[in-house]
Copies of this chain bind each other. A is one copy, B any other.
Amino acid sequence: MQILDIAPVKYEEDKMLILDQTQLPGETVYLEMNTKEDVRDAIYKLKVRGAPAIGVAAGYGLYICARDISAKDYNDFYRQFMDIKNYIASSRPTAVNLFWALNRLEVRVREFENHTIGDQSVQDHKNGKDLQENTENRHLWKNTQIMIKTAILEEAENIRIEDEDACRAMGEYGLTLLRPGMGILTHCNAGTIATAKYGTCLAPLYIGHEKGYGFKVFADETRPLLQGARLTAWELNNAGIDTTLICDNMASIVMKNGWVDAVVVGCDRMAANGDGANKIGTSGLAILAHEYGIPFYMFVPTSTIDMNTKNGDDIHIELRDGDEIYKLWYEKPMAPEGIKTYNPAFDVTAAKYITAVVTEKGILYPPYEESIRKLFEQR
């Protein structure tokens, strides 16, 4: 399946490239990232999106900026690094993978914090220490700086590789919940281009398809930015999976018609109690599935579970520009000029509506507060 070879974020020959998902399905264009502004903009404008892919982009993005740092010592390096990190972190508030990835890189930098050479050597010089020691210290710091940058890149690579492994594992676990010929409804895009590879909730569909499962998939278009229409329908159609595009408000009739045996969705942040923030509209789908007696599965790599968030009320929901609702994509105005809008990018699905949570470590069942706690204790 060629579609699985299309990565949302690439690091090749010292260059970071991002697949511009806003141009899909019309054009497949990779953009080179050179500055922190490039990276923040790519995340904010959804050129790269999907919680795990945002994590991967944040990792490489922070690296390509940090590699240009020329600091006089560790403290100087750390300060410059944190400026870039905080700038990239300000791009979007909801997906926890963004902060999780950036923090992983910071941890690697801080492994070097006892290397107090560099600036210190200048002080030593002023205090009359000999020139040779000073020069050695400077040389040592230059080597250390290279080592820090190497560690940052290594961590960015780890994030990508681990995500690919996690997605494959979620696919295998998720497939045990599904049967050949099932009708599957999905929302937004938690597919291969939302992750390092395979996707979260679409991973079992790809693996099942390889095995001839013959799923019939319904893809919600997912307003306002149409990730379902533009990305999920494109991915699955390219892979040869039977896919029907519907508007979000058609989920109820499709379920009532008896065409849906399971709902599978991704997650942008799961709280410790199992409440899960995901693309706007997910909570409504979960309630419909509950009412129609259809299982609702949320695919959540452990990197997306935030044990510091107690429940869904503590999750910051990003509000985006109303233009996305009434202007973007359109030839002519589709709402009156100046109309007030409310444009939340996500909503929170209460744990009580989630049948099971699929992670790369296995499948969790209610009560989630307990099953999530146990999972994290085991690690």
Contacts and interface: CB of A to CB of B under 8 A. Distances in A.
A332 to B, nearest CB: 5
A176 B287 CA distance: 30
A244 B326 CA distance: 12
Interface string A244-260: 11111111111010000
A230 B334 CA distance: 5
A46 to B, nearest CB: 14
A108 interface: no
Nearest to A25: B336
Interface string A320-341: 0010011001111111111111
B341 A246 contact: yes
A347 interface: yes
A295 interface: no
A337 B237 CA distance: 10
A253 B25 contact: no
Contact of A281 (B238, B252, B283, B334): B252
B335 A233 contact: yes
Interface residues of A, number: 59
A379 B345 CA distance: 50
Interface stretch (A99-107, A126-134, A204-212, A215-223): A215-223
Nearest to A252: B284
Contact of A223 (B221, B256, B287): B221
Nearest to A242: B340
A25 B280 contact: no
Contact of A248 (B233, B247, B344): B247
A332 B288 CA distance: 32
Interface SS of chain A: helix, strand, loop or mixed? mixed
Contacts of A341: 244-246
A280 B224 CA distance: 17
Contacts of A250: 280-281, 342-344, 347
B222 A249 contact: yes
Contacts of A224: 247
A256 B335 contact: no
B252 A287 contact: yes
A249 B280 contact: yes
A229 B326 contact: yes
A291 interface: yes
A192 interface: no
A243 interface: yes
Interface string A281-297: 10110011011000000
B335 A332 contact: no
A237 B245 CA distance: 32
11 contacts: A226-B334, A226-B335, A229-B325, A237-B339, A245-B325, A245-B335, A247-B325, A252-B284, A253-B280, A287-B287, A330-B331
Interface of A: 25-26, 218, 220-224, 226, 229-230, 233-234, 237-238, 242-254, 256, 280-281, 283-284, 287-288, 290-291, 317, 322, 325-326, 329-344, 347-348
| 3 A-B pairs with the lowest CB-CB distances in the bound complex, closest first | A249-B281, A252-B284, A223-B247
